[in-house]
Amino acid sequence: MGLVSGELYKSIAENCKEEFEEMDGMKNDLCSQELKVFKQMISRINPEHVLKPVCESQFILLMLTSGGVKFSNKRTTRSLREKKLNMQWCRGKYHDLSTYWANDISVQEALHVRKGSIEQWVRCRSIIFPSAYTVTTGDSRQSGADVVYNEDPPLYHANLSRRGYASLIFSGDHDMKVPFQSTEAWIKELNYTITKDWRPWIVNDQIAGYTRSYSNQMTFATVKGAGHVAFEYKHQECAVMLTRWLSQEPL
């Protein structure tokens, strides 16, 4: 995408030995300095989709922190209007507004949410995880039994696919949060045979992405132009991809 110069990339690859994440206590000063330059280069890039603007949902944030949509303070209302007019549209605003949607009584009734099962729905409620769940693995390939301590832990994907379960693994090709190259890397570690090599998949006579087929019924696909949550950016293409896969048809 031309985010950094070729010289910087090559220098980081050589000096950091392909370890592109700065660690505490890193002894390689040259690598550390170059990683700082790299982070400066991408600091204003949206990691969920590199072509989308970086912006914060200040208007929605103020709505949420002010206790609702109605405001009695005229100064607050005027400030909100000014911010709304001056702000650039961001996909994250949909995410923020989903809180109001999901807490609407008519929505909850339509979804058959049991009354009293939750006080207030919040998207990505981070406080849930330490209090209600025990995290047993940080890697979706690993089983929960021996997460870090076993030298050769069983792998979820390997276990399931070897039992005959088909899998579709896809990535938006403009996602910098979890780049498709990273997904390719862990798939490669499974050592599956490539049954059909890299090729485009088509929707409406246009290339919608690229795909590769592996043994054990594993399919990998990129979604062209999509970001971190591919369905948010490419609705039709992802729907076609999923329909074809569920129908056991080639992408």
Alpha carbon distance 168, 8 (integer Å): 35
Q: What is the number of other CB atoms lying within 10 angstroms of the CB of residue 106?
A: 7
Alpha carbon distance 84, 145 (integer Å): 49
Q: What is the number of other CB atoms lying within 10 angstroms of the CB of residue 158?
A: 18
pLDDT in tens, 133-157: 666 655 555 543 443 434 344 467 7
pLDDT band, very low/low/confident/very high, at 61 (cuts 50, 70, 90): very low
pLDDT higher than threshold 90 for residue 194: yes
Instruction: Give the structural domain span for 81.
Output: 54-133
Indicate the pTM of the whole model: 0.72
pLDDT for res 77: 42
Average of per-residue pLDDT values in the chain: 77
Listed range (188-192, 220-224, 230-234, 236-240) with the worst mean pLDDT: 188-192
155 with 141: CB under 8 angstroms? Answer: yes
Query: Is 174 found in the same domain as 142?
Result: no
Q: Is residue 46 part of a domain?
A: no
Last residue of a domain, one of 146, 162, 178: 162
Q: Is residue 47 part of a domain?
A: no
pLDDT higher than threshold 60 for residue 94: yes
221 with 209: CB under 8 angstroms? Answer: yes
Query: Is 239 found in the same domain as 204?
Result: yes
Domain count, the chain: 4
pLDDT for res 29: 80
pLDDT for res 52: 87
Over residues 63-91, the mean pLDDT reads 48
Q: Is residue 209 part of a domain?
A: yes
pLDDT higher than threshold 80 for residue 83: no
Q: Which residue has the higher pLDDT, 95 or 250?
A: 250
pLDDT in tens, 13-60: 888 876 666 554 556 688 888 888 988 888 888 888 999 888 754 444
Query: Is 211 found in the same domain as 178?
Result: yes
Over residues 181-195, the mean pLDDT reads 90
Q: Is residue 66 part of a domain?
A: yes
Q: Is residue 74 part of a domain?
A: yes
Alpha carbon distance 225, 231 (integer Å): 11
pLDDT higher than threshold 80 for residue 65: no
Q: Is residue 97 part of a domain?
A: yes
Q: Is residue 49 part of a domain?
A: no
Q: Is residue 48 part of a domain?
A: no
Query: Is 75 found in the same domain as 35?
Result: no
Q: Which residue has the higher pLDDT, 135 or 190?
A: 190
CA distances from 208 to 170, 178, 221, 241 (A): 12, 19, 10, 9
* Domain containing residue 197: CATH number: 3.40.50.11320
Q: Which residue has the higher pLDDT, 93 or 77?
A: 93
Q: What is the DSSP string of the chain?
A: --SS-HHHHHHHHHHTTT--S--TT---HHHHHHHHHHHHHTTTS-TT-TTSPP---HHHHHHHHTTSS----HHHHHHHHHHHHHSPP-THHHHHHHHHHHT-HHHHHHTTPPTTS-S---TT-TTHHHHH-----SSTTB-SSSSSSSSS--BHHHHHHHTT--EEEEEETT-SSS-HHHHHHHHHHTTPPEEEEEEEEEETTEEEEEEEEETTTEEEEEETT--SSHHHH-HHHHHHHHHHHHTT---
pLDDT higher than threshold 90 for residue 199: yes
Last residue of a domain, one of 133, 150, 182: 133
